[in-house]
Structure 1
């Protein structure tokens, strides 16, 4: 799934990156599984650098979210985003930004 989301990366680069993310206290990967099949994931981070559209730091941030094509439009990414919001609240972040849209989730584009 990660190769589909980031096709410019190699499998080896993503493997190394995911290991670093899994060991990080600033980054998390959440997966959505149906039965034995992983159908979606989200990469969340806590950014301390400037994030466009925010006035405070640190900020909860969605680095990427992916849903397999055959499972899209069924609410799986929304469930992962909500899990990300919950994680942000746990670390006292009020906003969850996205790298693609540059605006807080839940607000108009």
Structure 2
């Protein structure tokens, strides 16, 4: 298995993988988002590939604003991570996290953060399994005015 950083050659594959994680999104928007990431100095993505098949990705950003539970800036933020369900428990997500950590350290980060929905127990368990510690639980609200 190899881990590739996002490039013009795999941005369409990244867009397809994003739709598995966030099915409410659409391919065209995610492809455009991938092109934006290619030009960014504060965002990147890495894709796991095995025998020519893309199996997962991690999308990252450097956040300079306040990030819950952190005390430094910038903070490496995991915007999303996905591994094909048929290939989970094979160490792919762990390798993606390791690559992310190296990228974060190279950009001056000493902390990594992430979030998930309060009801997503699978994601919460995953975060714990790769070394994240929970710092807060939050319910957000909105009101039309």
Q: Same fold (TM over 0.5)?
A: yes
* Distance in structure 2 (CA, Å) of the matches to 1:18 and 1:48: 21
Gaps of 5+ in 2: 1-16, 117-123, 135-145
Moved over 4 A (4+): none
Gaps of 5+ in 1: none
Larger radius of gyration: 2
Structural RMSD (CA): 1.8
Within a 5 Å distance, the mapping from 1:1-109 to structure 2 comes to: 1-100=17-116, 106-109=131-134
* Distance in structure 2 (CA, Å) of the matches to 1:51 and 1:108: 14
Which structure shows the higher strand fraction?
1
Contact 2:74 2:108 in 1 (8 A): no
Displacement, 1:71?
Answer: 0.5
Contact 2:72 2:110 in 1 (8 A): no
Displacement, 1:108?
Answer: 3.6
